[in-house]
Amino acid sequence: MYPTFHLGPWQVPTYSTVYALALVLVGMLAFHRLRRIPEPPGRLMRALVAAIVGGFAGTYLVGLIPAAQRFARTGDFIWPSSASFVGTLAGGIAAAAVVRRGEPTPLGRVLDLGGLPWPLLLGLGKIGCLGAGCCYGKPTESWLGMWMPDEAGWWAMRYPTQILSGVANLLIFGLLLAVERYGQKRVGKDRGWPFDGFLFLLYVGLFCIVRFSTEWLRGDAVPLLGPLTWVHLATLAGLATVIVIMVTQFARQR
């Protein structure tokens, strides 16, 4: 939708460029943090690559859900080209769990260190969504409205969902860093939170809340169960899972 970079005969969209740069930055930061684990760097890099590959797979495969929903409503099946960060989280976690099976360091510890930069990826990546016109908001006359296009190029006063989501994820990233710093300062150790995986669970819970909220403002949201879309149902399930795991872990600590 917005500027396309030209490299000789190749055309690189803003969306791909921004997300590629964000992925490189976040991947470097994640690996730097994972080096705190006393394991060979190659083993840590294998887990990080597996999470990235699994995240990519989940990003696009989960798009089959709205595609199947569209097929049930209209009879037309279109292979999904849009991405979903809900699928990214699910695929990345699943891949990391498979690769890290049997390793001495708990998976929660790995996710706390390597997963903390994930909201930075989405926060920066939303600039690419803004350029592509995807993840667009509903038309509105609210004071929040901005003159913006959808992915088909239709301009209107819309909720700036890409900007709202990007800012929210950057705030989540800052909050996670603050919680980590506070915990380390309070106990004087590398881990100052209640249990391994706490930081990552906190992130997933906050992400689910933000994604559930912004879905009400999205122009591409299609109701599945009453007013709820499949994203609403998926984020509610994710939030419920986070709460159950946290309550269980706190009970064990006591």
DSSP helix/strand/coil, 6: strand
- Write the DSSP string, 20-66: HHHHHHHHHHHHHHHTTSSS-HHHHHHHHHHHHHHHHHHHHHTTHHH
Residue 146 β-bridge partners? 158
Residue 248 CB: number of other CB atoms within 10 A? Answer: 11
Question: What was the pLDDT predicted at 54?
Answer: 85
What domain range includes position 78? 4-253
Q: At what angle do helices 107-115 and 41-61 cross, to 10 degrees?
A: 80
pLDDT(183) > 70: yes
Among 65-69, 110-114, 176-180, 248-252, where is mean pLDDT lowest?
65-69
7-49 pLDDT, tens digit per residue, is 667 777 777 788 889 989 999 999 999 999 988 888 888 888 8
Picking from 205, 207, 179, the residue whose alpha carbon sits closest to that of residue 191 is: 179
> Is the Cβ–Cβ distance between 179 and 119 less than 8 Å?
no
pLDDT(92) > 90: no
pLDDT(71) > 90: no
Among 67-76, 214-223, 226-235, where is mean pLDDT lowest?
67-76
Number of domains in the chain: 1
The whole-chain average pLDDT of the chain stands at 85
Q: How far apart are the first and last CA of the chain?
A: 54
Question: What was the pLDDT predicted at 75?
Answer: 67
- Write the DSSP string, 55-93: HHHHHHHTTHHHHHHHHHHHS------S--HHHHHHHHH
Chain CA centroid to CA 58, Å: 11
Q: Give the side-chain half-sphere CA count within 13 A for 212.
A: 16
Helix and strand element counts for the chain (H, E): 9, 4
pLDDT band at 82 (very low <50, low <70, confident <90, very high): low
pLDDT > 70 in the chain, percent: 85
The predicted model gives 181-207 an average pLDDT of 81
Top-confidence residue, 81 or 18: 18
Question: What was the pLDDT predicted at 97?
Answer: 87
C-alpha span between 217 and 138 (Å, rounded): 6
C-alpha span between 118 and 112 (Å, rounded): 11
- Write the DSSP string, 94-107: HHHHHHTTT-SS-H
pLDDT(88) > 90: no
pLDDT(243) > 80: yes
